[in-house]
Amino acid sequence: MSIIKKSAALVGLGCDKNRVDGEKILGSLYEHGYTIYDSHEIFKNSSRQKIDLLVINTCAFIGAARDEAIQAITEAVDFKRLGKIKLIAVSGCFGIALNEYCPAELKKEIDFFIGAGDIGQAYEIVEGIKKNQFRPPADSLKNTPRLLLGNPHYAFLKVAEGCDRRCSFCTIPSLRGKYVSRSIKSILDETKILLSKGIKEIIIVSQDTSSFGKDRGKRLSDLIDALDKLRNNSSKFWARLHYLYPSKVTNELIEAIAGSDCVVPYFDIPIQHAHPDVLRLMRRPSNHIELQKLFERIRARFREVSLRTTIITGHPGENKKQFDFLLSFLESVQFDRLGVIPYSPEPGTFSATLSASNKADERAKKVMELQREISKKRLEMRIGKKYSILMDSEKFGRTEFESPEIDGVVEVEGKRGNFVSAVIESVTEHDMKASIV
């Protein structure tokens, strides 16, 4: 008697941390015999492929993310009614808010909810072997099988879950719980698995990576030291740190990165704003002078380094004077890379109780106009210099100063997944062109 294999696909929404969770859900299903399909192929009108299970891994960080989740569920329900999808499972942060935001006619079509802490048992839940236990989100940190998505030579590695910060605009603490770090051994074990699969770059993520280890009597510098020791016994790989909190980027951490053999000189430090009054309303570090000094110290310590930040425009309390102050600050610091998020009031947060302007989108555009000018100036400083470039495809790669999917690329020819040496010849506002040497 032949066994009929079941099939599944994943719609992955939200951040890179969510991607890790989605990969673990697929890993649980794949380990138990499921055939995994690309969800984009399933949703093509011309596709005749049918699947047993579609998992929608959602985000609920801002209103736009919730809208995206509802849209994805709506499309899935349409295909379910057409007979292309048998069952629908919802996971991620939006799953917690289904009762509040998801229309009843959609909710009744959802067959399973996989809690943030239950992703490693996705197979047991969808097969009815176990019920959703609603474990703490930190349970998602356990080393369970992952089926890597996207480019085959870089991967995201989540080192902590939750957040103890109380930024006035943010719902992450209520969605993901208190801050919990993984053990260094657990991280090294997963790193070894990733390297054995041919991964050349590991992007270390969490809600607050600079606080890593605080609940275990460890520091982020201890993890860097452990990764360096692993690097000495393995082939070349890059490690990149994302989501560093400004006040936690100490001289010790800067020195640890400067002395590392694998952690690249790339500082992703979201500041959200620069004006002291707005920062106080955000419940963020409000001393803009200290922020400026921090970035000056980092640049002074490295021969070359990349500074990236994230800005929120239109937060309650931001008037024209304070926005102009922000622009002046950005002009002064000259961030290499920058992302901007127009403010979105989130129910249950302090900021949502305050009055906000209607200029968030307009001001976000102005920030990016300025950043395009800054970015090109910064990139022009690289012309004529030689870099090691990790190839993302046969035509494009990145230096150690560009993070995948959010920063620019280098146009150069080489074998995908290999490191090549090339000289930068020309630049645009975000990207570069190089020639092999």
Where residue 423 sits, what CATH number does that domain have?
2.40.50.140
User: What pLDDT is attached to residue 4?
Assistant: 62
C-alpha gyration radius of the chain: 22
pLDDT band at 62 (very low <50, low <70, confident <90, very high): confident
Query: Which residue range(s) make up the domain with 271?
Result: 141-380
pTM value is 0.93
The arithmetic mean of pLDDT across residues 51-69, rounded, is: 89
- State whether residue 92 is helix, strand or coil: strand
User: What pLDDT is attached to residue 410?
Assistant: 98
The arithmetic mean of pLDDT across residues 129-148, rounded, is: 82
Between vectors from CA 62 to CA 56 and to CA 67, what angle results, nearest 5°?
Answer: 50
**Residue 1 pLDDT > 50:** no
Residue 1 lies in a domain: no
pLDDT band at 238 (very low <50, low <70, confident <90, very high): very high
Residue 26 lies in a domain: yes
Produce one character per residue of 309-320: b if its CB has 16 or more CB atoms within 10 Å, e if not. Answer: bbbbbbbbbbee
Instruction: Identify whether residues 134 and 150 lie together within a single domain.
Output: no
Give the C-alpha separation, 350 to 236, whole Å. Answer: 46
**Residue 243 pLDDT > 80:** yes
Mean pLDDT of the chain: 92
**Residue 247 pLDDT > 90:** yes
The arithmetic mean of pLDDT across residues 183-197, rounded, is: 96
Burial class of residue 348 (count of CB atoms within 10 Å of its CB; 0-12, 13-18, 19+):
exposed
Instruction: Identify whether residues 40 and 146 lie together within a single domain.
Output: no
CA torsion, ordered 48, 51, 57, 60, to nearest 10 deg: 60
Residue 22 lies in a domain: yes
Reported as a single tens digit per residue, the pLDDT across 282-294 is: 999 888 999 999 9
Give me the helices (H) in 216-272, please: 220-232, 251-258
Reported as a single tens digit per residue, the pLDDT across 395-422 is: 999 999 999 999 999 999 999 999 999 9
Give me the residue label for tokens 């009597």: 217
Number of folded domains that form the chain:
3
Residue 2 lies in a domain: no
The arithmetic mean of pLDDT across residues 173-186, rounded, is: 93
CA neighbor of 418 nearest in space, from 437, 387, 391: 391
Produce one character per residue of 23-41: b if its CB has 16 or more CB atoms within 10 Å, e if not. Answer: bbbbbbbbeeebebbebee
Give the C-alpha separation, 225 to 213, whole Å. Answer: 13
pLDDT band at 2 (very low <50, low <70, confident <90, very high): very low
The CA distances from residue 310 to 278, 287, 337, in Å, are: 15, 17, 9
pLDDT band at 46 (very low <50, low <70, confident <90, very high): low
Give the C-alpha separation, 362 to 109, whole Å. Answer: 38
Instruction: Identify whether residues 211 and 236 lie together within a single domain.
Output: yes
